[in-house]
Structure 1
Protein backbone atom coordinates (compact mmCIF):
# COMPACT_ATOMS: atom_id res chain seq x y z
CA UNK A 1 0.00 0.00 0.00
CA UNK A 2 2.95 2.39 0.36
CA UNK A 3 2.90 2.57 -3.42
CA UNK A 4 -0.04 4.97 -2.91
CA UNK A 5 2.47 7.69 -2.02
CA UNK A 6 4.23 7.29 -5.38
CA UNK A 7 1.15 8.36 -7.34
CA UNK A 8 -0.39 11.86 -7.48
CA UNK A 9 -3.15 12.37 -4.92
CA UNK A 10 -5.53 13.39 -7.71
CA UNK A 11 -4.98 10.11 -9.54
CA UNK A 12 -5.56 8.05 -6.39
CA UNK A 13 -8.73 10.03 -5.62
CA UNK A 14 -9.98 9.60 -9.20
CA UNK A 15 -9.44 5.84 -9.06
CA UNK A 16 -11.32 5.76 -5.75
CA UNK A 17 -14.22 7.80 -7.20
CA UNK A 18 -14.52 5.39 -10.14
CA UNK A 19 -14.25 2.41 -7.77
CA UNK A 20 -16.98 3.96 -5.62
CA UNK A 21 -19.32 4.27 -8.61
CA UNK A 22 -18.56 0.68 -9.61
CA UNK A 23 -19.27 -0.49 -6.04
CA UNK A 24 -22.60 1.36 -6.02
CA UNK A 25 -23.52 -0.27 -9.33
CA UNK A 26 -22.55 -3.72 -8.03
CA UNK A 27 -24.60 -3.14 -4.89
CA UNK A 28 -27.58 -1.99 -6.96
CA UNK A 29 -27.43 -5.06 -9.20
CA UNK A 30 -27.13 -7.42 -6.25
CA UNK A 31 -30.13 -5.70 -4.71
CA UNK A 32 -32.18 -6.06 -7.90
CA UNK A 33 -31.34 -9.78 -7.98
CA UNK A 34 -32.37 -10.03 -4.33
CA UNK A 35 -35.74 -8.49 -5.16
CA UNK A 36 -36.14 -10.67 -8.27
CA UNK A 37 -35.83 -13.79 -6.12
CA UNK A 38 -38.93 -12.74 -4.22
CA UNK A 39 -37.42 -11.74 -0.89
CA UNK A 40 -39.70 -9.72 1.37
CA UNK A 41 -38.92 -6.13 2.19
CA UNK A 42 -40.40 -5.15 5.57
CA UNK A 43 -38.00 -6.01 8.39
CA UNK A 44 -35.33 -6.66 5.80
CA UNK A 45 -35.42 -3.01 4.73
CA UNK A 46 -35.06 -1.88 8.33
CA UNK A 47 -32.00 -4.12 8.81
CA UNK A 48 -30.44 -2.85 5.57
CA UNK A 49 -31.08 0.75 6.59
CA UNK A 50 -29.55 0.15 10.01
CA UNK A 51 -26.41 -1.45 8.55
CA UNK A 52 -26.09 1.33 5.96
CA UNK A 53 -26.40 4.01 8.65
CA UNK A 54 -23.77 2.27 10.78
CA UNK A 55 -21.31 1.87 7.90
CA UNK A 56 -21.84 5.45 6.71
CA UNK A 57 -21.25 6.68 10.26
CA UNK A 58 -18.04 4.67 10.43
CA UNK A 59 -16.95 6.06 7.07
CA UNK A 60 -17.65 9.62 8.25
CA UNK A 61 -15.67 8.99 11.42
CA UNK A 62 -12.69 7.63 9.49
CA UNK A 63 -12.80 10.54 7.05
CA UNK A 64 -12.93 13.08 9.88
CA UNK A 65 -10.14 11.34 11.81
CA UNK A 66 -7.88 11.06 8.76
CA UNK A 67 -8.50 14.67 7.74
CA UNK A 68 -7.76 15.88 11.27
CA UNK A 69 -4.56 13.79 11.36
CA UNK A 70 -3.33 15.15 8.01
CA UNK A 71 -4.20 18.76 8.88
CA UNK A 72 -2.40 18.49 12.22
CA UNK A 73 0.72 17.06 10.59
CA UNK A 74 0.65 19.80 7.95
CA UNK A 75 0.52 22.44 10.67
CA UNK A 76 3.41 20.73 12.50
CA UNK A 77 5.55 20.77 9.35
CA UNK A 78 4.81 24.45 8.82
CA UNK A 79 5.84 25.29 12.39
CA UNK A 80 9.02 23.23 12.10
CA UNK A 81 9.96 25.13 8.92
CA UNK A 82 9.74 28.44 10.77
CA UNK A 83 11.60 27.06 13.79
CA UNK A 84 14.38 25.78 11.55
CA UNK A 85 14.66 29.14 9.77
CA UNK A 86 14.81 31.00 13.09
CA UNK A 87 17.44 28.61 14.46
CA UNK A 88 19.65 28.97 11.38
CA UNK A 89 19.30 32.76 11.34
CA UNK A 90 20.16 33.02 15.06
CA UNK A 91 23.24 30.81 14.67
CA UNK A 92 24.33 32.80 11.62
CA UNK A 93 24.04 36.10 13.52
CA UNK A 94 25.99 34.71 16.48
CA UNK A 95 28.81 33.63 14.17
CA UNK A 96 29.68 37.33 13.89
CA UNK A 97 31.53 36.96 17.20
CA UNK A 98 34.09 34.57 15.70
CA UNK A 99 37.57 35.61 14.69
CA UNK A 100 37.93 36.83 11.09
CA UNK A 101 39.17 33.57 9.61
CA UNK A 102 36.66 31.39 11.43
CA UNK A 103 33.79 33.79 10.72
CA UNK A 104 34.42 33.71 6.96
CA UNK A 105 34.59 29.91 6.97
CA UNK A 106 31.48 29.43 9.17
CA UNK A 107 29.37 31.90 7.20
CA UNK A 108 30.34 30.23 3.95
CA UNK A 109 29.24 26.90 5.43
CA UNK A 110 25.96 28.50 6.56
CA UNK A 111 25.26 29.74 3.03
CA UNK A 112 25.82 26.22 1.69
CA UNK A 113 23.69 24.82 4.48
CA UNK A 114 20.69 27.09 3.83
CA UNK A 115 20.79 26.09 0.15
CA UNK A 116 20.79 22.42 1.17
CA UNK A 117 17.86 22.95 3.55
CA UNK A 118 15.82 24.80 0.94
CA UNK A 119 16.43 21.98 -1.52
CA UNK A 120 15.49 19.43 1.15
CA UNK A 121 12.28 21.32 1.95
CA UNK A 122 11.19 21.49 -1.70
CA UNK A 123 12.15 17.97 -2.85
CA UNK A 124 9.29 15.43 -2.97
CA UNK A 125 9.59 12.44 -0.64
CA UNK A 126 9.61 10.10 -3.65
CA UNK A 127 12.63 11.82 -5.25
CA UNK A 128 15.79 9.67 -5.21
CA UNK A 129 17.92 12.79 -4.59
CA UNK A 130 16.43 13.25 -1.12
CA UNK A 131 18.88 10.89 0.60
CA UNK A 132 21.89 12.63 -0.97
CA UNK A 133 20.53 16.05 0.06
CA UNK A 134 20.04 14.81 3.62
CA UNK A 135 23.59 13.41 3.73
CA UNK A 136 24.96 16.74 2.48
CA UNK A 137 23.02 18.59 5.21
CA UNK A 138 24.50 16.33 7.88
CA UNK A 139 28.00 16.84 6.48
CA UNK A 140 27.60 20.62 6.66
CA UNK A 141 26.22 20.34 10.21
CA UNK A 142 29.31 18.40 11.23
CA UNK A 143 31.66 20.96 9.66
CA UNK A 144 29.83 23.85 11.33
CA UNK A 145 29.95 22.11 14.69
CA UNK A 146 33.67 21.32 14.41
CA UNK A 147 34.45 24.90 13.40
CA UNK A 148 32.59 26.24 16.45
CA UNK A 149 34.21 23.68 18.77
CA UNK A 150 37.67 24.66 17.50
CA UNK A 151 36.88 28.27 18.42
CA UNK A 152 35.62 27.17 21.83
CA UNK A 153 38.90 25.35 22.48
CA UNK A 154 40.76 28.51 21.56
CA UNK A 155 38.92 30.50 24.24
CA UNK A 156 36.83 28.29 26.58
CA UNK A 157 35.63 31.33 28.55
CA UNK A 158 34.11 33.12 25.56
CA UNK A 159 30.35 33.27 26.22
CA UNK A 160 29.49 34.16 22.62
CA UNK A 161 31.04 30.90 21.39
CA UNK A 162 28.96 29.00 23.93
CA UNK A 163 25.84 30.72 22.60
CA UNK A 164 26.84 29.83 19.04
CA UNK A 165 27.25 26.17 20.04
CA UNK A 166 23.80 26.31 21.65
CA UNK A 167 22.30 27.70 18.45
CA UNK A 168 24.05 25.08 16.32
CA UNK A 169 22.71 22.37 18.60
CA UNK A 170 19.19 23.69 17.99
CA UNK A 171 19.83 23.79 14.23
CA UNK A 172 20.80 20.11 14.30
CA UNK A 173 17.85 19.15 16.52
CA UNK A 174 15.30 20.93 14.34
CA UNK A 175 16.74 19.28 11.22
CA UNK A 176 16.13 15.91 12.90
CA UNK A 177 12.55 16.98 13.67
CA UNK A 178 12.14 17.99 10.05
CA UNK A 179 13.25 14.54 8.95
CA UNK A 180 10.79 12.89 11.35
CA UNK A 181 7.95 15.18 10.23
CA UNK A 182 8.46 14.08 6.63
CA UNK A 183 7.94 10.46 7.63
CA UNK A 184 4.97 11.17 9.89
CA UNK A 185 2.04 10.45 7.59
CA UNK A 186 -1.42 8.99 7.88
CA UNK A 187 -0.76 5.32 8.73
CA UNK A 188 -1.20 2.94 5.81
CA UNK A 189 -3.60 0.87 7.95
CA UNK A 190 -5.90 3.87 8.32
CA UNK A 191 -5.82 4.52 4.56
CA UNK A 192 -6.65 0.87 3.87
CA UNK A 193 -9.58 1.02 6.31
CA UNK A 194 -10.71 4.26 4.68
CA UNK A 195 -10.63 2.82 1.15
CA UNK A 196 -12.33 -0.45 2.14
CA UNK A 197 -15.00 1.35 4.19
CA UNK A 198 -15.71 3.65 1.23
CA UNK A 199 -16.25 0.69 -1.09
CA UNK A 200 -18.47 -1.17 1.41
CA UNK A 201 -20.52 1.95 2.11
CA UNK A 202 -20.87 2.53 -1.63
CA UNK A 203 -22.09 -1.02 -2.19
CA UNK A 204 -24.69 -0.56 0.56
CA UNK A 205 -25.83 2.72 -1.01
CA UNK A 206 -26.41 0.83 -4.26
CA UNK A 207 -28.07 -2.12 -2.49
CA UNK A 208 -30.50 0.21 -0.69
CA UNK A 209 -31.85 1.33 -4.11
CA UNK A 210 -32.85 -2.21 -5.05
CA UNK A 211 -36.56 -1.35 -5.21
CA UNK A 212 -35.92 1.20 -7.96
CA UNK A 213 -35.09 0.00 -11.45
CA UNK A 214 -33.93 3.48 -12.49
CA UNK A 215 -30.49 4.50 -11.25
CA UNK A 216 -30.17 7.84 -9.49
CA UNK A 217 -26.88 8.70 -11.17
CA UNK A 218 -26.67 12.38 -10.07
CA UNK A 219 -26.87 11.37 -6.40
CA UNK A 220 -24.36 8.56 -6.90
CA UNK A 221 -21.91 10.88 -8.65
CA UNK A 222 -22.28 13.57 -5.96
CA UNK A 223 -21.66 11.01 -3.20
CA UNK A 224 -18.58 9.58 -4.98
CA UNK A 225 -17.24 13.05 -5.82
CA UNK A 226 -17.58 14.35 -2.25
CA UNK A 227 -15.81 11.31 -0.79
CA UNK A 228 -13.14 11.64 -3.49
CA UNK A 229 -12.57 15.33 -2.72
CA UNK A 230 -12.16 14.65 1.00
CA UNK A 231 -9.73 11.77 0.38
CA UNK A 232 -7.82 13.87 -2.17
CA UNK A 233 -7.42 16.61 0.46
CA UNK A 234 -6.26 14.08 3.07
CA UNK A 235 -3.63 12.68 0.70
CA UNK A 236 -2.57 16.11 -0.54
CA UNK A 237 -2.07 17.45 2.99
CA UNK A 238 0.08 14.37 3.63
CA UNK A 239 2.39 15.25 0.69
CA UNK A 240 3.50 18.81 1.45
CA UNK A 241 6.24 18.83 -1.23
CA UNK A 242 4.42 17.34 -4.20
CA UNK A 243 0.75 18.30 -4.07
CA UNK A 244 -1.43 21.38 -4.43
CA UNK A 245 -1.30 22.21 -0.71
CA UNK A 246 2.37 22.78 0.02
CA UNK A 247 4.34 23.85 3.07
CA UNK A 248 5.95 27.09 1.95
CA UNK A 249 9.66 27.74 2.41
CA UNK A 250 9.34 31.53 2.68
CA UNK A 251 11.07 31.52 6.06
CA UNK A 252 14.14 29.72 4.71
CA UNK A 253 14.19 31.98 1.64
CA UNK A 254 14.12 35.03 3.93
CA UNK A 255 17.12 33.68 5.86
CA UNK A 256 19.01 33.11 2.60
CA UNK A 257 18.23 36.68 1.52
CA UNK A 258 19.50 37.93 4.88
CA UNK A 259 22.74 35.99 4.45
CA UNK A 260 23.27 37.37 0.96
CA UNK A 261 22.78 40.93 2.22
CA UNK A 262 25.44 40.36 4.88
CA UNK A 263 28.14 38.81 2.68
Structure 2
Protein backbone atom coordinates (compact mmCIF):
# COMPACT_ATOMS: atom_id res chain seq x y z
CA UNK A 1 0.00 0.00 0.00
CA UNK A 2 2.85 2.37 0.85
CA UNK A 3 4.48 1.74 -2.54
CA UNK A 4 1.18 2.55 -4.26
CA UNK A 5 1.03 5.90 -2.45
CA UNK A 6 4.58 6.66 -3.54
CA UNK A 7 3.76 5.76 -7.14
CA UNK A 8 0.73 8.06 -7.07
CA UNK A 9 2.87 10.88 -5.69
CA UNK A 10 5.62 10.22 -8.21
CA UNK A 11 3.13 10.61 -11.07
CA UNK A 12 3.17 14.35 -10.44
CA UNK A 13 1.10 16.86 -8.54
CA UNK A 14 -1.05 17.83 -11.53
CA UNK A 15 -1.81 14.23 -12.42
CA UNK A 16 -2.72 13.43 -8.83
CA UNK A 17 -4.90 16.54 -8.55
CA UNK A 18 -6.72 15.73 -11.80
CA UNK A 19 -7.38 12.13 -10.73
CA UNK A 20 -8.57 13.22 -7.29
CA UNK A 21 -10.86 15.88 -8.73
CA UNK A 22 -12.34 13.34 -11.14
CA UNK A 23 -13.00 10.84 -8.34
CA UNK A 24 -14.72 13.48 -6.20
CA UNK A 25 -16.77 14.80 -9.10
CA UNK A 26 -17.90 11.28 -9.97
CA UNK A 27 -18.88 10.58 -6.36
CA UNK A 28 -20.81 13.84 -6.24
CA UNK A 29 -22.72 13.07 -9.44
CA UNK A 30 -23.53 9.53 -8.30
CA UNK A 31 -24.83 10.90 -5.02
CA UNK A 32 -26.91 13.47 -6.89
CA UNK A 33 -28.52 10.75 -9.02
CA UNK A 34 -29.51 8.72 -5.95
CA UNK A 35 -30.78 11.83 -4.18
CA UNK A 36 -32.85 12.84 -7.20
CA UNK A 37 -34.43 9.39 -7.31
CA UNK A 38 -35.19 9.51 -3.60
CA UNK A 39 -36.89 12.88 -4.06
CA UNK A 40 -39.04 11.46 -6.87
CA UNK A 41 -40.16 8.70 -4.54
CA UNK A 42 -40.98 11.23 -1.82
CA UNK A 43 -38.52 9.49 0.48
CA UNK A 44 -36.72 12.62 1.51
CA UNK A 45 -35.07 11.88 4.89
CA UNK A 46 -35.05 14.55 7.52
CA UNK A 47 -31.82 15.95 8.81
CA UNK A 48 -29.75 15.19 5.71
CA UNK A 49 -28.34 18.70 5.77
CA UNK A 50 -27.18 18.25 9.37
CA UNK A 51 -25.41 15.00 8.52
CA UNK A 52 -23.72 16.45 5.44
CA UNK A 53 -22.65 19.53 7.38
CA UNK A 54 -21.15 17.29 10.04
CA UNK A 55 -19.27 15.27 7.42
CA UNK A 56 -17.89 18.43 5.81
CA UNK A 57 -16.81 19.76 9.19
CA UNK A 58 -15.10 16.49 10.13
CA UNK A 59 -13.33 16.37 6.76
CA UNK A 60 -12.10 19.93 7.19
CA UNK A 61 -10.82 19.08 10.68
CA UNK A 62 -8.94 16.00 9.47
CA UNK A 63 -7.47 17.95 6.56
CA UNK A 64 -6.22 20.61 8.96
CA UNK A 65 -4.57 18.00 11.20
CA UNK A 66 -3.01 16.23 8.24
CA UNK A 67 -1.71 19.49 6.79
CA UNK A 68 -0.12 20.30 10.13
CA UNK A 69 1.47 16.83 10.23
CA UNK A 70 2.88 17.12 6.70
CA UNK A 71 4.13 20.67 7.31
CA UNK A 72 5.91 19.55 10.48
CA UNK A 73 7.69 16.75 8.61
CA UNK A 74 8.78 19.19 5.90
CA UNK A 75 10.08 21.64 8.49
CA UNK A 76 11.91 18.80 10.23
CA UNK A 77 13.78 18.00 7.03
CA UNK A 78 14.64 21.67 6.51
CA UNK A 79 15.90 22.07 10.06
CA UNK A 80 17.91 18.88 9.66
CA UNK A 81 19.77 20.19 6.63
CA UNK A 82 20.68 23.39 8.46
CA UNK A 83 21.87 21.54 11.56
CA UNK A 84 23.94 19.09 9.53
CA UNK A 85 25.52 21.81 7.40
CA UNK A 86 26.47 23.76 10.52
CA UNK A 87 27.95 20.63 12.10
CA UNK A 88 30.02 19.92 9.00
CA UNK A 89 31.28 23.49 8.99
CA UNK A 90 32.27 23.25 12.65
CA UNK A 91 34.12 19.97 12.09
CA UNK A 92 35.95 21.47 9.10
CA UNK A 93 37.11 24.48 11.13
CA UNK A 94 38.38 22.28 13.93
CA UNK A 95 40.14 19.98 11.49
CA UNK A 96 41.90 22.98 9.96
CA UNK A 97 42.86 24.38 13.36
CA UNK A 98 44.28 21.21 14.89
CA UNK A 99 47.61 21.59 13.09
CA UNK A 100 48.01 17.95 12.07
CA UNK A 101 48.39 16.37 8.59
CA UNK A 102 45.48 14.08 9.31
CA UNK A 103 43.40 17.10 10.25
CA UNK A 104 44.12 18.61 6.85
CA UNK A 105 43.03 15.36 5.23
CA UNK A 106 39.83 15.32 7.29
CA UNK A 107 39.08 18.86 6.13
CA UNK A 108 39.57 17.81 2.51
CA UNK A 109 37.31 14.80 2.99
CA UNK A 110 34.66 17.00 4.58
CA UNK A 111 34.56 19.14 1.46
CA UNK A 112 33.87 16.07 -0.69
CA UNK A 113 31.50 14.80 1.98
CA UNK A 114 29.45 18.00 1.75
CA UNK A 115 29.04 17.51 -2.01
CA UNK A 116 27.80 13.98 -1.39
CA UNK A 117 25.26 15.31 1.11
CA UNK A 118 24.05 17.81 -1.49
CA UNK A 119 23.44 14.97 -3.94
CA UNK A 120 21.65 13.01 -1.23
CA UNK A 121 19.23 15.84 -0.46
CA UNK A 122 18.52 16.50 -4.13
CA UNK A 123 18.02 12.85 -5.11
CA UNK A 124 14.60 11.77 -6.36
CA UNK A 125 12.60 8.87 -4.97
CA UNK A 126 13.57 6.52 -7.80
CA UNK A 127 17.06 7.90 -8.33
CA UNK A 128 19.34 4.96 -9.25
CA UNK A 129 22.27 6.44 -7.33
CA UNK A 130 20.48 6.96 -4.00
CA UNK A 131 21.79 3.75 -2.45
CA UNK A 132 25.23 4.53 -3.79
CA UNK A 133 25.17 7.94 -2.12
CA UNK A 134 24.33 6.31 1.20
CA UNK A 135 27.14 3.80 0.79
CA UNK A 136 29.59 6.55 -0.12
CA UNK A 137 28.50 8.59 2.90
CA UNK A 138 29.17 5.64 5.19
CA UNK A 139 32.55 4.97 3.61
CA UNK A 140 33.67 8.58 3.96
CA UNK A 141 32.51 8.66 7.55
CA UNK A 142 34.58 5.56 8.31
CA UNK A 143 37.64 7.07 6.65
CA UNK A 144 37.36 10.36 8.54
CA UNK A 145 36.73 8.53 11.80
CA UNK A 146 39.88 6.49 11.23
CA UNK A 147 41.91 9.68 10.83
CA UNK A 148 40.49 11.31 13.95
CA UNK A 149 41.02 8.10 15.92
CA UNK A 150 44.68 8.15 14.99
CA UNK A 151 44.94 11.80 16.05
CA UNK A 152 43.33 11.14 19.42
CA UNK A 153 45.60 8.17 20.09
CA UNK A 154 48.63 10.22 19.17
CA UNK A 155 47.68 13.32 21.15
CA UNK A 156 44.75 12.80 23.53
CA UNK A 157 44.25 16.47 24.31
CA UNK A 158 41.08 18.59 24.46
CA UNK A 159 41.63 19.91 20.92
CA UNK A 160 41.64 16.42 19.41
CA UNK A 161 38.66 15.44 21.55
CA UNK A 162 36.76 18.50 20.30
CA UNK A 163 37.42 17.47 16.69
CA UNK A 164 36.18 13.96 17.42
CA UNK A 165 33.02 15.36 19.04
CA UNK A 166 32.37 17.62 16.04
CA UNK A 167 32.69 14.74 13.59
CA UNK A 168 30.48 12.53 15.74
CA UNK A 169 27.77 15.22 15.76
CA UNK A 170 27.97 15.63 11.99
CA UNK A 171 27.61 11.88 11.49
CA UNK A 172 24.70 11.66 13.92
CA UNK A 173 22.89 14.46 12.10
CA UNK A 174 23.45 12.67 8.78
CA UNK A 175 21.65 9.63 10.20
CA UNK A 176 18.85 11.83 11.51
CA UNK A 177 18.50 13.45 8.08
CA UNK A 178 18.40 10.06 6.38
CA UNK A 179 15.58 9.04 8.72
CA UNK A 180 13.70 12.28 8.07
CA UNK A 181 13.92 11.80 4.30
CA UNK A 182 12.80 8.17 4.51
CA UNK A 183 9.76 9.04 6.65
CA UNK A 184 6.63 9.68 4.58
CA UNK A 185 2.95 10.12 5.26
CA UNK A 186 1.41 6.88 6.60
CA UNK A 187 -0.55 5.23 3.78
CA UNK A 188 -3.44 4.54 6.15
CA UNK A 189 -3.84 8.28 6.69
CA UNK A 190 -3.68 8.94 2.97
CA UNK A 191 -6.40 6.43 2.14
CA UNK A 192 -8.49 7.69 5.05
CA UNK A 193 -8.47 11.14 3.46
CA UNK A 194 -9.38 9.73 0.06
CA UNK A 195 -12.25 7.68 1.51
CA UNK A 196 -13.61 10.52 3.64
CA UNK A 197 -13.48 12.95 0.73
CA UNK A 198 -15.24 10.54 -1.63
CA UNK A 199 -18.01 9.74 0.85
CA UNK A 200 -18.49 13.39 1.80
CA UNK A 201 -18.83 14.47 -1.82
CA UNK A 202 -21.29 11.65 -2.46
CA UNK A 203 -23.35 12.77 0.55
CA UNK A 204 -23.26 16.37 -0.67
CA UNK A 205 -24.49 15.27 -4.08
CA UNK A 206 -27.25 13.25 -2.43
CA UNK A 207 -28.42 16.30 -0.48
CA UNK A 208 -28.44 18.45 -3.62
CA UNK A 209 -30.34 15.72 -5.45
CA UNK A 210 -33.02 15.69 -2.78
CA UNK A 211 -33.46 19.42 -3.25
CA UNK A 212 -33.32 19.13 -7.07
CA UNK A 213 -30.65 21.84 -7.17
CA UNK A 214 -27.43 20.69 -8.88
CA UNK A 215 -25.31 23.76 -7.99
CA UNK A 216 -22.52 22.28 -10.07
CA UNK A 217 -20.44 25.44 -10.29
CA UNK A 218 -20.33 25.90 -6.53
CA UNK A 219 -19.81 22.18 -6.00
CA UNK A 220 -16.87 22.11 -8.39
CA UNK A 221 -15.36 25.12 -6.66
CA UNK A 222 -15.56 23.21 -3.39
CA UNK A 223 -14.04 20.16 -5.05
CA UNK A 224 -11.20 22.30 -6.37
CA UNK A 225 -10.51 23.58 -2.86
CA UNK A 226 -10.42 20.08 -1.37
CA UNK A 227 -8.24 18.87 -4.24
CA UNK A 228 -5.74 21.70 -3.87
CA UNK A 229 -5.49 21.17 -0.12
CA UNK A 230 -4.95 17.41 -0.40
CA UNK A 231 -2.39 17.85 -3.17
CA UNK A 232 -0.38 20.25 -1.01
CA UNK A 233 -0.62 17.83 1.92
CA UNK A 234 0.75 14.95 -0.14
CA UNK A 235 3.46 17.17 -1.62
CA UNK A 236 4.59 18.36 1.80
CA UNK A 237 4.55 14.89 3.28
CA UNK A 238 6.68 13.31 0.54
CA UNK A 239 10.39 14.07 0.83
CA UNK A 240 11.58 13.16 -2.66
CA UNK A 241 8.56 13.68 -4.91
CA UNK A 242 6.44 16.63 -5.92
CA UNK A 243 7.33 20.29 -6.26
CA UNK A 244 7.72 21.23 -2.58
CA UNK A 245 11.23 19.98 -1.86
CA UNK A 246 13.89 20.73 0.71
CA UNK A 247 16.72 22.66 -0.91
CA UNK A 248 20.44 22.08 -0.48
CA UNK A 249 21.35 25.76 -0.29
CA UNK A 250 22.78 25.53 3.24
CA UNK A 251 25.29 22.92 2.09
CA UNK A 252 26.31 25.12 -0.81
CA UNK A 253 26.84 28.02 1.60
CA UNK A 254 29.01 25.72 3.69
CA UNK A 255 31.11 24.88 0.64
CA UNK A 256 31.49 28.58 -0.07
CA UNK A 257 32.85 28.99 3.44
CA UNK A 258 35.50 26.37 2.69
CA UNK A 259 36.90 28.37 -0.22
CA UNK A 260 40.33 29.75 0.46
CA UNK A 261 40.94 27.53 3.47
CA UNK A 262 42.02 29.03 6.76
CA UNK A 263 44.71 31.71 6.64
CA UNK A 264 46.59 32.28 9.88
CA UNK A 265 47.39 36.03 10.03
CA UNK A 266 50.72 37.21 11.38
CA UNK A 267 50.96 38.22 14.97
CA UNK A 268 49.93 41.88 15.23
CA UNK A 269 52.67 44.25 16.21
CA UNK A 270 52.65 45.81 19.65
> Could you say which TM-score interval applies, normalised by the shorter chain?
over 0.9
| Paired position in structure 2 for 1:28 | 32
User: Is the Cα–Cα contact under 8 Å of residues 20 and 227 in structure 2 kept in the other structure?
Assistant: yes
> How far does residue 13 in structure 1 lie from its aligned partner after superposition?
2.2
Of 89-98 and 125-134, more deviation after overlay is shown by 125-134
Paired with 2:13 and 2:65, the residues of 1 have a C-alpha distance of: 18
Give the total of aligned pairs.
258
Structure 1 residue ranges without an equivalent (≥5): none
Aligned residue among 25, 42, 46 for 1:39: 42
After superposition, residues 1-263 of structure 1 pair within 5 angstroms as 1-2=1-2, 3-6=4-7, 7=10, 8-36=12-40, 38-41=41-44, 44-46=45-47, 48-156=48-156, 158-213=157-212, 215-262=214-261
> How far does residue 99 in structure 1 lie from its aligned partner after superposition?
4.3
> How far does residue 10 in structure 1 lie from its aligned partner after superposition?
2.8
User: Is the Cα–Cα contact under 8 Å of residues 85 and 251 in structure 1 kept in the other structure?
Assistant: yes
Using the size of structure 1 for normalisation, the TM-score is: 0.92
> How far does residue 78 in structure 1 lie from its aligned partner after superposition?
1.0
Paired with 2:261 and 2:238, the residues of 1 have a C-alpha distance of: 34
Moved over 4 A (4+): none
Using the size of structure 2 for normalisation, the TM-score is: 0.90
> How far does residue 182 in structure 1 lie from its aligned partner after superposition?
1.1
Paired with 2:172 and 2:131, the residues of 1 have a C-alpha distance of: 18
Paired with 1:261 and 1:12, the residues of 2 have a C-alpha distance of: 47
Structure 2 residue ranges without an equivalent (≥5): 263-270
| Paired position in structure 1 for 2:268 | none
Q: Alignment RMSD, CA only?
A: 1.6
User: Is the Cα–Cα contact under 8 Å of residues 66 and 186 in structure 1 kept in the other structure?
Assistant: no
